[in-house]
Structure formats: structure tokens, C-alpha cells
Structure 1
Amino acid sequence: MTQLRNTIRSLAMVALTVTALTPAAPLYGNADEEAAALIAPTPYEARYEARARGLSTDAYRNLVQTDTNVYQLGHGLSLRVLGANLITVTETSHFYWIDSGAVPVSYSYEQSGLRRRQEQISFDWEQQRASVVRNDRETDTAIYPGLLDNLSFTAQMSSQLNANADLLDVGTTLEYQILDGTEPETQVYRVAARETVETLAGALDTVLVERVREPDSDRSTRIWLAIDHEFVLAKLEQVEDGDTTELLLSAMTMGDVSLSQSE
């Protein structure tokens, strides 16, 4: 039973790792006025295989444009064994897109099965406050321009890499302010390499980005982003306490481009 709980926890961590205010007002901006405008991401649908502790299941990630400059990014997975729901995770971010990138409006995370967890965040940029509800406990916290959530920051990262080839140089660092839980935190990522990754949908030219953690941390997060497909997630590897959990792309549709798993 302990091993099963750890497997469920590992799959939930993948969902957390991987795992929409009027754009005219300067209050909502988060970039230097002289910086080049970031192009809004192209909507897409991607499927993945999630692996942890000898078990595997399907996962998905999709980006949908719901209105002018308004987007919804979703991520999730579900694992059933002998008809029983061991874990289902659904994660969603709504955000506006302005010249400086994503401006989150709401974020939600729901986990059900043997372990349950819920989190909802509502961003009020006029009041510069956010309401965070975790398992029915509500907290109010201050927010500031440039703050992102656990999903919208991935759209921001992909757009930045797509807009500026210089960011692909090995050693480049990318820093994000993310409202993770009830308090903002700084997450730093470093470009580690350019690699060809064999996914279930074929070989992809990728940039490997690693999260920068403390030297004594027992966790590592490595993200491979597809260079020729607007830096959509191609592969993710999370290691914690010696256990590895992985997401691997199996299919993707973006505009007229489709990738699929070979039969």
C-alpha cells in the first residue's frame, strides 16, 4: 500500500509540474516597455504517456483560445486499476495575453482518488489581491504585475523561447514569479542543452531546461521543449527521493501540423 501511495504521489507531482483582465491597462503588464512583444501561443492538443513505478497511463495538455486574447490551458491524467480510480488530476489556467505575455485570471487544481486535493486561485488585478482556496480554506494574498500561476508560466516560457533565439544558449536562465499555494515564489530555470529526443510521436529537436534547485535538494525537474513546435512540452522527467516519473509525448495537433504515435 505504501508503494501504491508513492506511485500516486509521483503521478500527481507530474501533473503539478506540468503541473485569462482587460489587456489595455498598464497595471497588468509585466515586461520592460522596450522589450519586444511576445506573440500569443498557437492553440494545440497534446497527448502523453505518464510513467511512474512501473505503471503507465495517458495524460493530456491542451491550449484553447476562448475569446480575443483569452486562453485556457489545461493538463490532466487519470489512472484506474481493476476499475478503481487510483488518481485523477485536472489542472486549468485561464489567462489573458498582452504584449508582455500571460496575465492569469484563474487557476484550479483538483485531485481525486485515493488522495484528494483541491485548489482554486482567483486573481483580482484592480485590487492587486488574489483569493486562494485550498481544501475549503480561503486565504487572501497580495499580487503584483508579472505574477503567474503553475500553468500560465509554461506558456510564458514557451513564448519567450520562441521569440528570442538567444535564450536557447546553454547557461541562459529564466526566472518566474509564481503564486504557488498562498505565497508567491521565485522559480529559476536554466537552459542545459539542445537534444534530439525520441518521443512516441517521433524524434524531435528539443531544448532541455532544468529547474535550478538548492545543491542538497533530493528533487530534480528536467523539461524538453520541441523547438519546431513553439516549444510545446515533448518530455518531462521528475526525480524525487530516487523515484523517477516521466511524461513522454505520444501525439500532438497544432494548426496544420499533426504528430502521432507509430503503429
Structure 2
Amino acid sequence: MRRALLFALALLALPSAQAADLKPFSASYTADWKQLPMSGTAERSLSKGADGDWTLNFKASMVIASLTESSTLRMDKETLLPQKYHFERGGLGKAKTVDLDFDWSAKKVTGTDRGDAITLPLNRGVLDKSSYQLALQHDVAAGKKSMSYQVVDGDEIDTYDFRVLGEEKVQTKAGSIDAIKVERVRDPTQSKRVTVLWFAKSWDYLLVQLQQVETDGKEYTIMLQDGTVDGRKVQGS
């Protein structure tokens, strides 16, 4: 359950509306379980380096667990090209570390997951578990109603599917924000987990809320606390 909350926190702060027009940002969130007195916080930031590469950093913490994630990526016109990915989970329970290198000239992904070696074929469009979120933002902003991504997940390349459910106002700690509601699509015969996300229309489609129901029925909500996009403070009505 603790790992599930940290996993949901890792979906936070999906940054820019246009993949070819990324903007630096920072955001903080709170997370609360509906059935339990358990809470957590998360922070995410996107910054551009002197070499033109972008770095997406993430950190989540709870009372007895923590998670960090970092993805370095490069833009080639409208295509996101991940370069390096790092994930680390610590605290009580099973620790986990993942490191990936994306070699586009050799067309392969290499690295380790919990110490196990990984080698996978790399084709244009393949993303890591952080950079795919940028592609999702781009497609939601472009008005698409259904989206599918090829993501390196463990020792395989998995397909992540999403669909747009409509528009809603979300009451966040930064005020009322007009948002696009999106659902992760899963095969109900394979997983009963439900994930719904809301993206702010006027703030480069920053994620402002996430709700997840686990297979055991546990439910939690993640909410934007405060943030800035391209130097502008996020404010609702």
C-alpha cells in the first residue's frame, strides 16, 4: 500500500502543453488516503541545461518511505528522446533502484533494475516511466481523446493507454482550476486499479489532481498545493 501511494505520487506534475515548447516549472503536492490517517508530499521540477537537454526531477516522501526519480531528455522537433533515467525507492519494505541509458545511435536501452541487467531494442517513440508523461501532456493539449505510449517497464517495453473523459473544475489549494479529466485504460480482467488525472487548461496542462483506487479498494487523492510555470505562480479563481 505504501509503495502504491509512492507510485501514484510519481505520476505528478506532468509539465508542458507542447512538447516542442517546454517551459521550466516547479510544483508541490499533498497526498491523503481516504481510509487511513496516512499522508505524503511530493515535489517535481523541470529545468533546461546549458546543453539544451531537459531534466525532470521528482521527490516524494512519507513518514517511513521515500522515492526519487530523474529523467534527462532531448527534443528532436516534436519527438521526445530520453537519454538517462534513474529511480530509487527507500525506507521500509523492498528497496528498488533502476538506471537506464538510451543509446539512440546503437538503438538499444541498457541498464539495471534491482541489480538485474536490462537490454532492450530502442525505436523512436519509446519512453521511460517519467518522460512518457510529457508525451501525455502534449497529446491532451493537442485535443486527442485517446493516447497510447511505449514505455520501458522493468525488462520489457509495455503499452500505457489513456483516454479523455471530459472537462471539470477542480478545487485545489491554489483555487478553482478548469481541467481536462483523463483516465488510465487497463484491461479489467488483468487489473482492477483505477487511475484518474486532471490537467489544468490554463497552466500548460500541469497535473492538479490525481485519484487512484487500488485492487484492494484503498483510495487516495493527490492535490496540487502550489506551483509555478515559466516563472508564473499557479492561481485558480
The question of a shared fold, defined as TM-score above 0.5 by the shorter chain, is answered with yes
Q: Structure 1's 46 and 153: CA in aligned 2 closer, same or farther, altered over 3 A? A: same
Shift of 1:218: 1.3
The residue aligned with 2:197 is 223
1:136 aligns with one of 84, 90, 115: 115
Instruction: Kindly provide the amino acid, as one letter, of the partner of residue 161 in structure 1.
Output: V
Unmatched 5+ stretches in structure 1? 1-5, 20-36, 81-85
Q: CA deviation at 1:17?
A: 3.6
- Rg larger in 1 or in 2? 1
Tell me the equivalent position of 1:77.
60
Deviation at 1:68, TM superposition (A): 4.6
Secondary structure, counterpart of 1:228 in structure 2: coil
Partner of residue 31 from structure 2, selected from 34, 47, 50: 50
Instruction: State whether structure 2 residue 134 is matched by structure 1 residue 155.
Output: yes
Match of 1:246 among 199, 221, 226: 221
What CA distance in whole angstroms lies between the structure 2 residues aligned with 1:9 and 1:160? 28
Once the two structures are superposed, the pairs formed by residues 98-247 of structure 1 within 5 Å of their partners are 98-115=76-93, 116-162=95-141, 164=142, 166-167=143-144, 172-216=145-189, 217-240=191-214, 241-247=216-222
Equivalent-residue separation in structure 2 for 1:251 and 1:91 (angstroms)? 20
Once the two structures are superposed, residues 160-197 of structure 1 have per-residue CA deviations (whole angstroms, 9 ceiling, x without a partner) of: 333x2x32xxxx10111111111111111000010000
SS in 2 for 1:10: helix
| Length-normalised TM-score, structure 1 | 0.81
TM-score if structure 2 supplies the norm length?
Answer: 0.89
Q: Distance in 2 between matches of 1:209 and 1:69?
A: 30
Quote the offset at 1:78 in angstroms. 1.1
- Percent of aligned pairs sharing the same letter: 27
- SS at 2:31 equivalent: strand
- Residue 11 (1) aligns with residue 5 (2): yes
AA aligned to 2:139 is Q
Please list every run of at least 4 consecutive aligned residues from structure 1 whose deviation after the TM superposition is greater than 6 angstroms: none
Look up the equivalent residue of 2:222 and give its one-letter code.
L
RMSD of aligned alpha carbons? 1.9
Partner of 1:83: none
Shift of 1:138: 1.3
Checking the alignment, whether the CA contact within 8 Å between 1:40 and 1:159 is kept in structure 2 is: no
CA distance in 2, matches of 1:67, 1:211: 35
- CA drift of 1:9 comes to 2.0
CA contact (8 A) 1:132 1:182 kept: no
User: More displaced, 62-71 or 232-241?
Assistant: 62-71
Structure (1 or 2) with the greater helix fraction: 1
Q: What runs of 5+ residues in structure 2 fail to find an aligned partner?
A: none
Partners of 2:25 and 2:45 within 8 A in 1: yes
> Across the two proteins, how many residue pairs are aligned to each other?
227
